[in-house]
Amino acid sequence: MSALASFIEGLPKTELHLHIEGSLEPEQMFQFARRNNINLPYSSVEEIRAAYEFSELQDFLDIYYQGMGVLQTEQDFYDLTWAYLTKVHAQNVIHVEIFFDPQGHTERGIAFDTVINGIYRALEDGEKKLGITFHLIMSFLRHLSEEDGFKTLEQALPHKDKIIAVGLDSSELGHPPSKFERLYARCKEEGFLAVAHAGEEGPPDYVRDSLDLLKIDRLDHGNRSLEDEALTERLVREGMALTVCPLSNYKLAGVTDMTKHPIRTMLEKGLKATVNSDDPAYFGGYMNENYLAITEALDLDKDHLAALARNGFEATFCTREEKDRMLARLDEYLKR
């Protein structure tokens, strides 16, 4: 292993952009399908992996929603989340802020409570047994109506103490932030922080509207902000963190070649870019694989990697004291 690869392995990290349903590995898909008596349209793990060829976001989303159909019971959601936590624990991830897509499940007749209770119990066990601290983010599916989002918010309110922020994901083009302005205002009144996917496929205007209309506290992806100089300067000035997902960008063809990935440019412009995996089971890698891919393609050094990890801890929704504790662990590692 190269020196930089082992440096990445040991680096204390945080993950801030992970769809728990996107951590569903083909092997688990079969396991859950078997125990829930569900027929999959695939006969082998290899066949599933072969289907993971995407030319745009929607290609992926179609397969992602189909895949999550095997998740039925609270135990399924627990096992899915626990498997993710054990994987990232082995990669020295010490804090996670993960998304879940309740509407992807309630639409299929799975109760909101089943979903959140399974995920949350695994997160609590992860903190107790693996030392991984966490926050949970509830994402609204933007291809559905705002009204549907309001119904989901109602279901979430009894679980308010388990959810730190709301997010917005799914098909970006044609579903602008303005569609959810009232819903986000309500969520802010309820005390939730806010994030939104923007500028993954959508134009810089979607990023601007996420700031102005949705009042986001952190930006998911944000890649296309770079097309607009004034917007880029604003993001720098406001210290807005971006949860960048390198292998996802490559797999969904926003970035045709890893050597053209914008994350190094983002750092050079002073943007608070962080590294994340998005949907690791579908895009070919968890945290270390994402760090390694950009390191090799963009010739990053230890200072770049330390800056990315530091941005991650600074961008968490933790208290100042919690951030300082995590940053101290990073500094201790860098001194060694």
Contact footprint for ligand ADE (CB under 6 A): 19, 22, 57, 64, 169-170, 197, 200, 248, 278-279
In 3D space, the residue among 227, 171, 170, 178 whose CA is nearest the CA of residue 206 turns out to be 178
Q: What is the DSSP code string of 136-186?
A: EEEEEETTS-HHHHHHHHHHHGGGGGG--EEEEES--TT--GGGGHHHHHH
User: CA nearest 200: which of 233, 183, 230, 177?
Assistant: 177
Instruction: Give whichever of 91 and 249 is closer to Zn ion, judged by the CB atom.
Output: 249
Complex with ligand ADE: residue 209 or 279, whichever CB lies closer: 279
Cβ contact 96:15 at 8 Å: yes
**Which residue in 332, 315, 320 sits closest to 14, CA to CA?**
315
- Least separation in angstroms between residue 169's CB and Zn ion is 5
Amino acid at the residue 271: L
Distance, in Å, from the CA atom of 283 to the CA atom of 269, rounded to the nearest integer, reads 27
* Minimum gap (Å) between residue 263 Cβ and Zn ion: 15
Q: Catalogue the active-site residues.
A: 200
Residue 94 or 209: which CB sits closer to ligand ADE?
A: 209
Best CA proximity match to 192, nearest among 175, 222, 169, 168: 168
**Shortest Cβ contact with Zn ion: which residue?**
278
Minimum Å gap between C-beta 198 and ligand ADE is 10
User: Please, what's the b/e burial string for 259-298 (b: 16 or more CB within 10 A of its CB; e: otherwise)?
Assistant: eebbbbebbebebbbbbbbbbbbbbbbbbbbbbbbbbebb
Nearer to ligand ADE, 11 or 219 (CB): 219
State the nearest-atom distance from the C-beta of 101 to ligand ADE, in Å: 7
Across-strand partners of 138? Answer: 100, 166
Q: Which residues bind Zn ion (CB under 5 A)?
A: 278
Residue nearest to ligand ADE (CB): 169
Cα 12 to the center of its chain, rounded Å: 18
Binding-site partner at residue 22 among ligand ADE, Zn ion, none, CB < 5 to 8 Å by type: ligand ADE
170 binds, among ligand ADE, Zn ion, none (CB under 5 to 8 A by kind): ligand ADE
* Cβ closest to ligand ADE, residue 76 vs residue 278: 278
194-228 CB burial, b ≥16 within 10 A, e <16: bbbbbbbbbbbbbbbbbbebbebbbbbbbbbbbeb
Shortest reach from residue 197's CB to Zn ion, in Å: 6
- Between CA 168 and CA 176, with CA 172 as vertex, the angle to 5 degrees is 80
**Minimum distance of ligand ADE from residue 90's CB (angstroms):** 23
d(CA 267, CA 303): 11
**Beta strands at 193-198 and 13-15: parallel, antiparallel or unpaired:** unpaired
Q: Which is nearer to ligand ADE, 64 or 84 (CB)?
A: 64
